[in-house]
Chains A and B, each alone.
Chain A
């Protein structure tokens, strides 16, 4: 069984990577039509990226939103994961279920329901409304990552610190926090990546200042702008691969630090 399965696995990986592998081909292709055969090598599309002020504004907007969402979602994630792994309380299943719900809820449902409430309250849309939505969808991922970080923690370490005269808070700060720090960093990076890439919620809640994906969506309608989009996409892919590799490094280090078996994966 091993050989056919290995062949299948390699074909499947090819399927998974097909779109990403094409991206740089067209980003460096000296032709405006996105089809084979390729024409020649050019840096033109990358050069053009530097000259679009609307794109720069969108990137800046997205970075602000992603940084804020990552920070807020990770704070909420720490609180919820700590509560879920360390304490027993009535109604825990229901409470955690509601917090984790955005993981399976279609994003369009989250987007329209928030939109309806915000508009009814007469609030104007902007970066902050996108942040509200993104924190909601990033928190479950943050909790999933931090749960495994907190779960593998040896409770007796904290108890020992308390017995030795530390307060609850100082033992948390001195013992628990450093041990789960890799999980926190990993959660920040994953939340940042999710927010940076999220389209639907941003599309509904962004108001007049588009985020990067909303800007991209607008560009996809114009065939002559596609090569520039491919160039931008290449940069985005490289950036997310770097971020994810760092996140994975910290996740593994965290797993190693708390002596837990490494099963891999963020989910």
Chain B
């Protein structure tokens, strides 16, 4: 009984200490993230005429967002681009993660991961700009292909359109896809694979029936961590997207900084978030069976 009491007292002080420590970062996130996110939602129900802000609640911005074709087009395009980027990034990232996890000797794994993450940490703006240089009419890609005699005239479908946005973003988010998949693959007990093969499964079947399902938590994490932030990318569509490659973030920026219509920008931001949120939830529901026990 005595022991129970000490335990309880100990438990309480554990809780108190935990709260004490987490209080500051939590307060920071609450004040500078939760409150502003709430404010954005509230703003989306207000209206603004140049500098005067009308605080009566109205659905006017949302009605405009749904009736004005441009907004709808940008929202749908952003969602499709994010989806394409996610698909491209995760599909190309998986073999890399698999290679590093299964075929690179343990002592060299962290070097490979380090090599993969370096480009991600170098100036984002300049990296995106350089894709423009690579994909351009007189760019590196076209000049090389022309030089090799593979094509007769420069390819034009690779810059200033959605393709360029997808390639550039797939490059930008590569480590975000590789790392979670790599971590999931590393956790797989290798004896399970041996067991699979000892029981007569082929390499391919073992991969699909053992490795892939066990790697799914990493794949799901990769999908979410690429899909959600991509929808808000501003720089890439602006630099390599051309007029038909612009995305919703460009419109949000225009509403806030150029048209002085923060409430409309806020409504578009809320809509974009609601859309990715909905897609992410559906995706999670569909993949839930792979995540059981995680």
Contact = CB atoms under 8 A, between A and B. Distances in A.
Interface stretch (B57-65, B111-119, B189-197, B286-294): B111-119
B117 A266 contact: yes
A117 B203 contact: no
B234 A200 contact: yes
B40 A112 contact: yes
B83 interface: no
B15 A237 contact: no
A205 to B, nearest CB: 11
Nearest to A82: B21
Interface string B243-265: 00000010011001100001001
B179 interface: yes
B123 A88 contact: no
Contacts of A241: 118, 122
B148 to A, nearest CB: 13
B156 interface: no
A260 to B, nearest CB: 12
Nearest to A213: B125
A5 B239 CA distance: 33
B121 interface: yes
B234 A108 contact: yes
A interface, over-half SS: helix
Interface string A74-116: 0011011011101111101001101101111111111011111
A103 B225 contact: yes
Contacts, number: 256
A240 B122 contact: yes
A264 B37 contact: no
B119 A20 contact: yes
Contacts of B100: 9
A88 B18 contact: yes
B25 A76 contact: yes
Interface in A185-227: 193, 197, 199-200, 203-204, 213, 216-217, 220
Given A6-B103, A117-B35, A108 B252 contact: yes
Nearest to A26: B133
Interface in A27-47: 34-37
B interface, over-half SS: helix
A19 B117 contact: no
Interface in A153-211: 193, 197, 199-200, 203-204
Given A16-B174, A98-B30, A120-B39, A106 B262 contact: no
B95 interface: yes
A123 interface: no
B182 to A, nearest CB: 7
B54 to A, nearest CB: 14
Interface of A: 1-2, 5-6, 8-9, 12-13, 15-20, 22-23, 26, 34-37, 76-77, 79-80, 82-84, 86-90, 92, 95-96, 98-99, 101-110, 112-117, 119-120, 132-133, 135-136, 139, 193, 197, 199-200, 203-204, 213, 216-217, 220, 229-230, 233, 236-237, 240-241, 244, 248, 252, 262-267
27 contacts: A5-B103, A23-B130, A26-B133, A79-B22, A83-B18, A83-B22, A87-B14, A88-B15, A92-B18, A99-B26, A104-B225, A106-B228, A106-B232, A108-B232, A108-B234, A109-B269, A112-B40, A112-B269, A197-B122, A197-B124, A199-B124, A204-B257, A216-B125, A217-B125, A220-B239, A229-B126, A229-B129
Interface of B: 14-15, 17-19, 21-22, 24-26, 28-30, 32-37, 39-40, 43, 92, 95-96, 98-100, 103, 109-119, 121-127, 129-131, 133-134, 136, 138-140, 143, 171, 174-176, 179-180, 182-183, 186, 203, 224-225, 228-235, 239, 249, 252-253, 256-257, 262, 265-266, 269, 272-273
